[in-house]
Structure 1
Amino acid sequence: MKNIYYILILFLGLSFIGCEPMEDIHDDINDEIDGSGALADKSYTLTEDDYESLGSSFPNFNSEEDARTLIPDFLDAQYPFYGEGSSINVTFDIYDPIRVEDYEVTSDDYNEAGLDVDYFTGTSQIYDVLETVFPQADNGDYINLMYETVAEEIPYAITAEDFDLIGDNLGETYPDEASSAAQYSNFDRREDRDAYWSNDMILEAINVVLDDNFDDVTNQIYNVSYAVYDGSAGTESMTVQFNGNAYVAFGGTSYEVSAADFDEIGNEFAEEFPQPASSAAQYSNFERRDGNASAWTEAMILEAINFLLDSKFPDASEGTQFAVTYAVYTGAAGSEVINVVKVDGDYELDLNASVSTITTTEVFAFTNGSWGMPFTLAMEDYEALGQSYPNFSNEDQALYRIGIYLGMQFPYAEEGDITAVAYDLYSSGETSTEYVNYIFEDGEFSLIPSTRTSSLKFGLNDGLWVPDNTIRYSLTGDDYVTIATALEDTYPTPASSMLRYSNFDTRSDNDNYWSPDMILEAVNILLNDINPSAAVGQKYIVTYAVYNGSNTTNSLSVIKVEDGSWVLNE
């Protein structure tokens, strides 16, 4: 009766104020009903002002738990007269920035990629491993990958400033020699002079220079060239490797096949291997895809390397070793290294050569269905973007300008294309690398926001707004290990598949099949592991990866019952 009374009063008011807009009248009616202890079942989306009233500096929450904690007080103030049993579904934003996951490639990962060594020799192999390890990757996912790769030789020429550094650092040990090096910017190689530099002394000097110019990366190789004087000016070089403590002399000569070399190979083998030779000359690489008409086999490559080394080093003696690096194409650009030794006038595979590998860490991003490296701004990009330094100091400015710049860099982008970007941001005296994703829509690149929209239903119980206790949980890589380990004796084949692919195979005609009952059993094991003290009545919506012919996800809603088990919450 009370609600009817308020409504009659409002409609009587309408007869005296005929010019009031109808929507204002509706608002007044709703306000009166809201204030009368009515039973509500409605939805509400938080505004920027609402977040501010909740004490947040940003129009979002840091987590769903923050939303559960703060929203009840907000609802109590917003709707003080709603009646017992009222329900409000609140929509809000949660700050969800890009998270770069660390992963170290294991021996098993190399093996599953078809490699018989525990290191990569080409970029395509890295992408193969990423696809295997992360079959459920989504657009915009980032992985900071640690792996072993062949240590490609870094060339370095000792400068006049380096010779000054040598003079300062070795002046006490070799006074005459160091003084001469600093004065003339060379090493005196005349053995009868006080300023003479032996090979061992030059190696000491190289240690001084490389230690000053490079990070000490174990197993990294450098080909260091330097000026010498032996009665006339000349140049020598020494190949060294960092062994974890110091730079030491390294065996075989490194050689990298250049574009001009590929042209020579193309000419030399035009009749013997017409299509492979033409491809090598045109693309400056060896085509390595099996079945391709332009493919180069290992034997063909060895023949090409023989030709090349004979032409470049005609006086090489018996036993001379080379580590030759060359570009390849396997569906993606990459490189390979072949170790050869001269035997009876020909170069053969050097089976005794030890490949030098280094530990490398790089960030990769999954976009548009495949793995790749994010578009990383270089010095010239910052200059084109109006920056004096290779970084930004204003995040908003960076994000705005990068979006415009991507349109210039990718003029043929298609609707829906996603581009991962890495840029440096200077703040509070420190520079950090930031990762962002852009999507090409309606003819321009737009930033994919770092927030996600979520919602929670709150009910008024005993005068308090109480959130639904459902916890939403997505399985991680460790969770699949927990389940597979617990069930490997019961379901050996499905558990083995889970350990390898981190998912549930739901193909009923496959030996790896996980039935609905088996999945519920797995969820029981997981929830009892991650939340053993959960109260009876606790609800979970568990999202997990599945493979049903393609990679996707499913969700299971469960509730804890009196006997301590988790059953379907239907």
Structure 2
Amino acid sequence: MKKILFLLVAVGAMFTSCNPMEDIYNELDKVENPIVGSAEYTLQDDDYTEMGLSYTSFDTEDQAKEEIPGFLETLYPFWGNGSQALVTYNLYKSNSIKSTDAYEVTDQDYQDLGFSYGNFDSPDDMEDFLVYKFPDAVRGDMVDLTYKYYSGGSTSELTNNFVLLEGWEMVREFSVEEYNDMEQSYPNFSNEDVAENNISIYLKTLYPYASSGDRIVTMYELYVSGAPNEMELIPFVYDGSNWNAISSVIESVLQFGHDGSTWVPDNTIKYALLRSDYDYMSAQLANEPGFEGPASSMGNYGNFDRREGNANYWSLEMIEQALISLLDNMDPNAEEGQKYIMTYDIYNGTNTTEDMSMIKTDGVWQRNI
């Protein structure tokens, strides 16, 4: 009845107010049970402009978390507490070189990291060393690393560039001869598109036995008329047939939830229980005092009996205990603050469902009230 009465008030406002839509929004803010919606939305080019951005991408995830909530308020003005939106957006992840450094691994460095033979002997060793030695490095930092490497029964001193992108990655550079192999008269490229195309073809000859998912970061020299040449990075990934350049702009996804006042980044996972989940919880609680009958009933019927006064009645506190046991098994390594909305089957005279919000706090699952 409240909602019907509100609609009448809102309609009346349209005829009496000089700004009817503003009045409607103000009245909606007072509604005790606002619309709870759920949507998946991909930002369009015009949406970035509406948010005041110069490009059709965000520079960082934090920027997306800051700007998207206001956009969602405009997109879903009538939605309130409990609403969710899964937003796909463009994230710019620069592949440019931010800074360069040079370092030669010392005998003490090898000792500090437990390399008792005074050398590295696997590709991961150099990455582990760089994480240790440059803990404050940021994306785009490059290190020209000189190190000792054991392979095939002998130790050699090598020097390679490593750049921090998705992690520390060795950079594949090209010799004068290789530029010639890629049909360049000089040891550089004068066009970025040509560089991307020719390098992708050349990588197939360099790595004929590559596996799908293999990744290589290449660096080439770009000719700039009237200015010093630039060094450019292009990461490539192999799809099983071709080497494909990885764009600086990637699609990323963030989930937002409405907390009753505004949209906030939200990690809530919605999960509907399966028949096997009821079997698992029944087995876990079958011998727990006070759960014997309800657990047996749940195992038989695949639901929670919510008829008060019934011998197999499940209170909310009991359901919480059952869901804790299930989440401990489903997601034992969940991070602190992870949320779930668990949808489970009940019988209260008819077959229907209920939801319970759960959150991991101080390392344990509990109801999120």
TM-score (norm 2): 0.49
User: Which protein is bigger by CA-based radius of gyration?
Assistant: 1
TM-score (norm 1): 0.34
